Copies of this chain bind each other. A is one copy, B any other.
Amino acid sequence: MRVEVISIGDELLIGQTVNTNASWIGEQLINIGIQLRWVTTVGDSTQDITQALHIAESRSDVALITGGLGPTHDDVTKKVVSDYFGATLVMNEEILDAIKERFRKRRFKMAKVNEEQARVPDNAELLKNDRGTAPGMIFRKDGKSFYVMPGVPHEMKGMMQSHILPELGKHAGAAIRIKNFMTTGVPESLLYERLDNLHEIERYVRLAFLPNLFGVKIRIMAFADNEKVASDKLEQAEKLVRAKIGRDIFADKDISLEEKIAEILIKRGETLAVAESCTGGMISNRLTNIAGSSSFFERGVISYSNAAKVELLGVPEGLILEHGAVSAQVALAMAEGVQRLAGTDYGLSVTGIAGPSGGTAEKPVGLVFVGYADANSSTFEKFTFANDRIGNKQRSVQAALHLLRKQILNRDQDG
């Protein structure tokens, strides 16, 4: 099945908005075994949208069209698409009522222009929009389907998940089973070596390495004529992958390392406190992005100054003078201090030189120590990352979380 995305909106062409819709759609499609083939982005222009529709009709089976369904004068998509498919716009009372109800509920005044959104093409199937005012539309022509959705990510995703992905999945033909294995702290090349004989695994599934700054995701996809066989193939492949790199995998679904850690801590009813220097709050920020984090995250201390390390974490001043703020000794003292003072099960720390300045020959930019402490023990790891500040912060966060996960799992085995 040849599928393309048409993204509509001036904001996508002038750098105001990054086209995250297209990449989200691409990822959802791959998960039902369809590889997106083209993305075309055009502005809110009748001529350019029409041309994009022509091209899509000539080469694709399915077009997923997003954007330009808003109520203001620069949103032309509905008009252009309706003209293209020879439709007349007619008022739909049911949708009008739903829009009015929406405004009433929120106690907003409804502008006249919002009524326009209830006018819909007379030859399209309509897609309910539970999350906004513009309905989606499906046009069918010569066995091809054109799905038209709002550009607001939240609304588009609702329509994709509730209606369009299931419909496309049915027509994708083969049965497909997918599993993602999340790893961190192990380079792609080393995972490749450890997986060793890839042919053995690829007898059952298609395997992909998907590296990013935070680790490597390994995706296996099993294809078969029916679901039973696809499941069996996936299971065979999973056994092989686990036998070879099981200890490198922190989750077998597509979640972040902090989500995994949150899962473990919440399940165990354990608590964490964090002391950050060079990461400047990024660890705490990532952990507290997770709903429910207040049940395990007790406090974070961003001890940018030495005074803060001494006063808030109980790091001995002499230790800083002797070894420097960026040292294994201080990383340990920070983790131990924050764990002890917060009275949590675990303490996690980072101290380092994020750059771009502040480095020396002995302690270059990118030098980072991460520390871990519980009531009985503490440990640290040393890294030398690169020369860019934000990247160093991100890598340090990941290294600290990785250390934490390893330690709390070890503790489990000891106990």
Q: Are B289 and A390 in contact (CB under 8 A)?
A: yes
Contact mask A29-73 → B, CB, 8 Å, 1/0? 010000111111111000010010001000100000000000000
Chain B residues with Cβ under 8 A from A300's Cβ?
280-281, 300-302, 304
Contact mask A7-40 → B, CB, 8 Å, 1/0? 1001111111111101111111010000111111
Chain B residues with Cβ under 8 A from A280's Cβ?
284-285, 287-289, 293, 297, 300
- 14 A-B pairs within 8 Å (CB atoms) are namely A15-B28, A18-B18, A18-B19, A19-B39, A37-B42, A38-B40, A38-B48, A40-B41, A276-B281, A280-B300, A281-B283, A281-B302, A291-B357, A297-B304
Stretch at the interface among A83-91, A305-313, A405-413: A305-313
For A41, the closest partner residue in chain B by CB is B39
Interface of A is mostly: mixed
What's the least CB distance linking A77 to chain B, in Å?
16
In the complex, the count of this chain's copies comes to 2
Known interface pairs A26-B13, A283-B281, A304-B294; A40-B37 also in contact (CB < 8 Å): no
For the complex, count residues of A whose C-beta is within 8 A of B.
75
Chain B residues with Cβ under 8 A from A274's Cβ?
302
Q: How far is the CA of A357 from the CA of B291 in the complex (A)?
A: 8
For A211, the closest partner residue in chain B by CB is B16
Q: Are A30 and B15 in contact (CB under 8 A)?
A: yes
Q: Are B358 and A294 in contact (CB under 8 A)?
A: yes
